[in-house]
Each structure stands twice: as C-alpha cells, then as structure tokens.
C-alpha cells in the first residue's frame, strides 16, 4: 500500500492495487457521517475507435455507446439495481462524460454492503437482444429531450464550431440514428475492453476501515476476468489547428439569446501535472480577464449587455482543450466583439500582477474549502487519476504558478483566429 500526503491540506490518500490491476484509493475523513464511493472506468464518449482486447484490428463503434452501456449496467436479470441500493438506504447514480464513466453511491449507514453491491453490479453486465432494443427507445427520448435543451445545444454547437474531426464534437449520448446500430455483441466488446479492472479505479472517502473495504472488494471482484494488464489501443482522428466554423446559430424556445464563445487550444498532447498546471493557469487567467471582479465585467453588466449568467471555464484533456465563455445576451455578437477587444487591449498594455495575486489566493481558498465536500474529493480524484496525476498535487501546482506563467499562457491561448461563436436565438 502506498500513501500520498499533502501537509498544506492536512490530507492524505492511500492506494492499494489488486492483482488484476484495479487501483483502490482512500481518503479518510474522520468524524464525517457521510461515506462516498466511485467506481469508474477510463472510458468515455470519445473512445469510438479502438482495438478490442484479444483482437488485432481497430473497430469503429456507434456514437453514444459508452453512455448506452452505462444505462444497461443498471439492469439485472431479476430487476433493477436502483431498488437494491434504495433498500440499503443509499443514493446511487452514474454519469458518462467525454473521457470516463463513473458509478457512485453515498450513504451514512451500511457502507460495506453498499460497496459490495457497487463492485458486484458494475462487473455483471446483462445484455440481451430484447433489453438492448428496449433501451434504444428510452435513450432516444433522452436524446430528443437534450435536442430541445438550449444550454446543451449552444454548448455542443460551440464544440462543433471549434473541432473538425475530434469526437469531442459529438454528443455524449450519440444520435437517435447512431444508437439504433448498437447491439449486444458490440456492447460486450466495449465492456470487455474498457471495463477490465486494470482500466478502472475505485475511490472511497469517509470515516471507514480501509482494510475491511479492500477485503470486500477483493472478495467481490470477479475471478474469471483475465488478469493480464494490457494497454488499450485507442485511436483518434488528426485534428487540424484551425477551427471548423466561426459562427453557428440555431433557433429554439428561449426568451433571451444564449451564447458560447469557444477558444480552441493548440497546446495539447500531454497529461500529468503539466496538464493540471495548464488547467489552473487558464482558469485563473479567465477570472483575470472576465471574472465578476473585473472592470470588463462591471462595464458589460452595467450596460445591460450581459447578466449574472455570464461565466467562463477551461476544459483540459490530453487530446483536446478549450476555453468557453458563455451566458445570456440580447446581442451575442457584440459580446464577442467586446471580448476580443478586451483581449487585444490587455495584450497591448499587459495584465495586472495584483489581480493575479488576488485571484490566485482566492483559488487556493476555494480549493481548501472544497475538501469539505466528499463528492468533490471523489470525482476530482478520479478525474486526475485518469490524467496520470493526483488531486493532492493540485494545491502545490497552484502555489508554484508565477505571474510570468500567466503572461505566457495569455499570449498563446487567446488569438483572433482560434475562436467560435455559438448562438441560440428565440424562435
């Protein structure tokens, strides 16, 4: 068992690796009544082209299959997993994003029974022609619902504007047409490749006995799985530096237009602490440029061109990264124009180092406060684990960032050529 400590946070994490490669992490939270566990696979909606375990040639699977598989794992031969967790008095859920699929529960009692159920059901796929076809209708309705969701549409239209080929431009749930091509054989092929324990991680946080938890996981884990740890060959298309579309507009049922302005990142191809540093630097920079405490925000808000829905975030991954600035406005094109003007002006006169220090200290405070949230710890830990680093490195990386780092990042990330404007207007 290995241990990582962060003296600044007064937090530590423990790692135990099973023979089959499953990594089991634990962050103790003495005195907390709530317990939380996440069982996740390093597999998301982007992984549509890969070489299945035991085969030599790559296959292309239908878009949305990772999300479809997540739904299907909750179905058993004799019923529904949700009911069994409910009987144990716990909350259970799951999510699929671009890079990972996670199954989670939280409880105050019967933690070990819940843990055994979590590990057991994620390892027990039950796919039949009948239940796969039934699920297609359910997920098709979900897809149609998201097609009418303005916030969802403005976001994915922005991604499609930025990216020409990368699968991040594809809706996580796929399309009604793409999921119609999913069958049980392909589901099992995806499951056997990506749900191998060596491609997964289990994270536990709370006031529990870790040794007892490890024994339960070790006793519950399937013994008939191949223990050979193999690197999965995932394949992604070549993505040009250039954006796909400068402007995308769509009409939906909204009272005020929605907009997303996406800046495509050219600096990709790595993970680990370097990726975390880029993520922190860019989010810090976005707060310096467009945060609620800036002159830009005050002037735009007072003029009525934006409202308190205005915000910005950077998304960092090894194969893609981007900043998105969004909100509501009666004049999205004017907002985009003002954003570009603000960037141009600040590149000429320079950033304010006092702003950098203030926002950096604010981020340090927020990060420390977030360690009171078991959900934040667990889900962030999984995210950083699959990016080949640890959440406990975050604070040290943040503290080491210098003003010069931010200045250099500002010069390279925001240009006149690498942005897309996505707008949803009223019908």
State how far the Cα of 284 lies from the Cα of 414, in Å rounded to an integer.
Answer: 14
Cβ atoms within 10 Å of 306's Cβ, excluding its own:
25
Under 8 Å between Cβ of 99 and 44: yes
Find where tokens 């996580």 sit: 172
Backbone dihedral region for residue 350 (phi beyond 0: left; psi -120 to 50: alpha; all else: beta): left
Indicate the helix (H) or strand (E) that contains 341. helix 332-349
End-to-end CA distance of the chain: 59
**Are 377 and 206 a contacting pair, CB within 8 Å?**
no
Cβ atoms < 10 Å from Cβ of 169? 19
- From the list 70, 75, 135, 239, the catalytic residue is 70
Q: Is 70 a catalytic residue?
A: yes
CA distance 339 to 182: 43
> What are the backbone angles phi and psi of residue 221, rounded to the nearest 5°?
-60, 140
Distance CA 239, CA 229 (A): 30
Three-state secondary structure call for residue 363: helix
- Residue 419 to residue 263: CA distance in whole angstroms: 4
Taking the CA atoms of residue 296, residue 298, residue 302 and residue 307 in that order, the dihedral angle to the nearest 10 degrees is: 90
Contact 288, 294 (CB under 8 A): yes
| CA-based nearest residue to 288, from 317, 312, 264 | 312
Q: How far apart are CA 370 and CA 379, in angstroms?
A: 12
- Residues 120 and 389 sit within 8 Å (Cβ to Cβ): no
Active site residues: 70
């Amino acid at each position: 068992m290995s241990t990582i400590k962060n003296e600044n946070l007064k937090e530590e994490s423990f790692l135990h690796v099973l023979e089959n490669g499953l990594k089991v992490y634990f962050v103790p939270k003495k005195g907390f009544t709530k317990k939380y566990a996440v069982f996740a696979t390093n597999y998301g909606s982007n992984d549509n082209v890969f070489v299945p375990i035991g085969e030599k040639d790559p296959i292309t699977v239908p878009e949305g299959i990772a999300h479809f598989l997540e739904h299907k794992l909750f179905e058993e031969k004799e019923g529904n997993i949700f009911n069994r967790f409910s009987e144990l008095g716990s909350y259970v859920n799951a999510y699929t994003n671009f890079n990972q699929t996670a199954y989670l529960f939280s409880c105050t009692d019967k933690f070990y029974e819940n843990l055994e159920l979590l590990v057991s059901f994620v390892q027990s796929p039950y796919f039949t022609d009948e239940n796969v076809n039934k699920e297609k209708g359910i997920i098709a309705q979900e897809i149609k619902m998201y097609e009418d969701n303005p916030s969802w549409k403005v976001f994915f239209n922005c991604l499609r504007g930025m990216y020409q080929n990368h699968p991040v431009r594809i809706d996580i749930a796929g399309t009604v047409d793409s999921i119609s091509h999913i069958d049980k054989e392909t589901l099992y092929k995806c499951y056997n490749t990506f749900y191998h324990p060596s491609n997964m991680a289990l994270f536990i946080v709370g006031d529990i006995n870790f040794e007892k938890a490890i024994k339960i996981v070790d006793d519950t884990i399937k013994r008939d799985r191949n223990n050979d740890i193999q690197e999965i060959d995932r394949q992604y298309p070549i993505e040009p530096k250039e954006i796909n579309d400068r402007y995308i507009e769509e009409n939906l049922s909204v009272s005020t237009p929605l907009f997303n302005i996406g800046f495509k990142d050219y600096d990709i191809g790595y993970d680990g602490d370097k990726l975390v540093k880029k993520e922190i630097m860019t989010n810090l920079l976005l707060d310096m440029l467009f945060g609620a405490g800036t002159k830009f925000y005050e002037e735009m808000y007072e003029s009525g061109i934006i409202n308190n829905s205005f915000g910005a975030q950077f998304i960092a991954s090894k194969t893609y990264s981007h900043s998105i600035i969004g909100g509501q406005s009666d004049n999205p094109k004017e907002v985009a124009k003002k954003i570009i003007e603000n960037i141009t002006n600040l590149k000429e006169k320079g950033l304010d180092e006092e702003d950098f220090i203030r926002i950096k200290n604010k981020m340090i405070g927020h990060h420390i406060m977030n360690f009171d949230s078991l959900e934040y710890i667990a889900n962030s830990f999984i995210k950083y684990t699959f990016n080949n680093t640890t959440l406990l490195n975050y604070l040290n990386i943040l503290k080491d960032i210098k003003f010069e780092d931010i200045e250099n990042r500002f010069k390279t990330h925001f240009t006149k050529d690498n942005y897309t404007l996505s707008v949803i207007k009223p019908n």
